[in-house]
Amino acid sequence: MTAERMIGDVVLELRDVQTYYGKIHALQGITAEVRAGEIVTLIGSNGAGKTTTLKTISGLLHPRSGSVHFEGRDVSRTSAHRLVRDGISHAPEGRRIFSRLTVLENLQMGGYTQSSKDVAANIEHVFELFPRLQERSGQKGGTLSGGEQQMLAIGRALMTRPKVLLLDEPSLGLSPILIQQIFGIIREINAQGTTILLVEQNASQALDVADRGYVLQTGRVILSDDAKVLAANDDVRRAYLGEI
């Protein structure tokens, strides 16, 4: 399946990124890159720094040292709302949908930076991807099931037609069938040309869908390789794929 996909130049590059929460040294030098058209995954246990890495890329946090480059430009100090316009979209951990707003209003909010004509077209596009959301478009976000909320979170992030989509634990709290479905959609979004950086605890699924992977531990990259190679690595299998 990867044969016909075009993998281009590096769009996203992290160079020795160090991020702190106050005094806590969360990222202790992350170096990684994502090429256009790829699906790259960050795997690792709780507290490894996966979510922090995504937040640092999307501008919700800023690195204390090191730098983040997007399309060759240093964006380490750029704020989140600007990066959305530039083409980085972040579906944050825990979905964070607007639970008091309807599905449609959530999507409209996702298109905040877009012209109203583009918003209408992009809502069409999201509804094609997630027919379920169209059925529920008048329903309040908070009353959706977990899977539907995740669809809404991804759909909302797609409203800006991003170049790079950052997905934080899209499988969290979902049933195995729904996880399959979500990963199928992630493949589809990628096949339509969106570069994806995926953070997952569900390492086997993530490595299955991704081209390459980075293994994080206590704020450092301890291993990086093709996803297939990582999935076959004994240490990875033991630590993250639940094999003894």
Binding status of residue 113 toward other proteins by CB under 8 A: yes
**Residue 130: both structure tokens together:** 């997630």
Rounded to whole angstroms, the Cα distance separating 71 from 34 reads 10
Q: Considering the rule CB under 8 A, would residue 98 count as an interface residue with other proteins? A: yes
102: Cα within 13 Å, side-chain hemisphere: 8
Q: CA-CA distance, 6 to 89, in Å (whole number)?
A: 21
Regarding 92 and contact with other proteins (CB under 8 A), the answer is: yes
The verdict on 202 binding other proteins (CB under 8 A) reads no
- Give the shortest CB-113-to-other proteins separation in angstroms: 4
Using CB under 8 A as the binding rule, whether residue 173 contacts other proteins is answered as no
Which tokens belong to 20? 């702190």
Q: Do the strands 65-70 and 10-21 form a parallel or antiparallel pair, or are they unpaired?
A: antiparallel
- Of 110-118, 125-133, 171-179, 220-228, the segment contacting other proteins by CB under 8 A is 110-118
| Nearest to other proteins of 153, 207 (CB atom) | 153
Cα–Cα–Cα angle for 152, 26, 162, nearest 5°? Answer: 30
3-state secondary structure 115-141: CHHHHHHHHHHHHHHCHHHHHCCCCEH
* 192 token code pair: 């339509």
| CB 79, min distance to other proteins, A | 7
Q: Quick check: 39 and 192 in contact, CB under 8 A?
A: no
Binding mask 143-172 for other proteins (x = CB under 8 A): x------------xx-xx------------
Maximum C-alpha span of the chain: 54
Inter-CA distances, 184 with 131, 178, 187, Å: 14, 10, 5
C-alpha span between 136 and 157 (Å, rounded)? 18
Q: Of 29-37, 123-131, 141-149, 223-231, which segment contacts other proteins by CB under 8 A?
A: 141-149
104 binds other proteins per the rule CB under 8 A = no
| Site map (CB under 8 A) of other proteins, residues 39-58, x = contact | -------------------x
- Looking at the Cβ atoms of 44 and 92, the one nearer to other proteins is 92
Rule CB under 8 A: is residue 21 a binding residue for other proteins? no
- Least Å from the CB of residue 84 to other proteins: 3
Q: Which two tokens stand for residue 16?
A: 């020795």
- Nearer to other proteins (CB atom), residue 71 or residue 105: 105
Does residue 60 bind other proteins (CB under 8 A)? yes
Q: Which residues bind other proteins (CB under 8 A)?
A: 58, 60, 79-81, 84-85, 89-92, 94, 96-101, 108-110, 112-113, 140-143, 156-157, 159-160
